[in-house]
Amino acid sequence: MSIARQASEITLPADNSGWNTVLQFLCSQFPFISEALWRQRMAAGKVHWFNGEPVTPATPFSPSKRLCYYREVIAEPVIPLAHSIIFQNEHIIVADKPHFLPVTPGGEYVNECLLARLQAETGITDMVPVHRLDRDTAGLVLFSINPVSRPAYYQLFSQGVIQKQYQAVARLTAGAQQAAMPQHWHIENRIEKSSPRFINTIVAGEVNAISDISLLNKQDDVGLFQLTPHTGKTHQLRLHMLSLGMPILHDNYYPELKPKQPPQFATPLQLLAKQLSFTDPLTRQTQCFSSKQLLSAWLGRQAATL
């Protein structure tokens, strides 16, 4: 059994949809966790208000109040891949995340995530990621470690004033193989949720997803791409590569959703968050950080030609 070292937080809805107690709310929000298990957690002090006051099965539902609970899983996967800290000051940490490691707890991952690793490594508990990166994607993640300056770094992303560059490896279409270098694509379309809910799809309608994609190099039928997202839709780059007929290598979601399986460490998704650039909102200095990682499929191709 893995039990989270840090509490997860949830703010109760402002509108009460018929919940008389916090227990009723939790059972409705987490249908895969039994009422008996929630009662056990409450008895063990693993559910409490943000101020530390314990929550019992009889505690009334309180709209908009912050609730803390400790996630548990029976068997948590271990990710035998290392992260690194690229930069740290009194306000932020920039970390280089390996493939397969989630940024924050979720699903079957409780303590085996980048956030928990960094908290243990630095001793800083008040730490939050200010943007997201898929578990399958490797590369740079920016964390805030100072609650006073935190809003300024959140605004870098909410206002779209941070520049992100990714690299990807994909099998080339016949046209891309034959065309002269360089090659560039500007993509604008609309991305919406699909089914199951963690899958997205491109649909007709008003544009909400914009990317620039360039082919940097090619070796036989495989290419190394630079991807620059100008919006932040979930799986945007994976879908935009798919729309070109060149889905990213080892993608378990696109073009076809594959059955769930343990992490396949030999074949990671060939997508890397390579670079973050921005003007620091506090110092006004230009910051540019680069991942030290290389995509294994491309590295293997290059090594084979030596």
Query: In 44-132, which residue ranges form alpha helices assigned H by DSSP?
Result: 114-122
- Predicted confidence band of residue 306 (pLDDT cuts 50, 70, 90): very low
Q: What is the pLDDT of residues 236-260, one digit of tens each?
A: 999 999 999 999 999 999 999 999 8
- Give this prediction's pTM: 0.82
CATH class given for the domain over 84-304: alpha beta
Domain boundaries, the chain: 2-73, 84-304
pLDDT at 6 over 90: no
Q: Are 47 and 108 in contact (CB under 8 A)?
A: no
CA distance 39 to 33: 11
CA distance 95 to 178: 38
CA distance 280 to 268: 32
* CATH architecture designation of domain 2-73: Roll (3.10)
Q: Are 1 and 74 in contact (CB under 8 A)?
A: yes
Q: What is the pLDDT of residue 3?
A: 65
- Is 84-304 in the same CATH topology as 2-73? no
Q: What is the pLDDT of residues 153-180, one digit of tens each?
A: 999 998 989 999 999 999 999 999 999 8
* C-alpha pair distances (Å), 79 with each of 97, 241, 264: 11, 27, 11
- Joined tokens for residue 189: 């379309």
Enter the DSSP assignment of 172: P
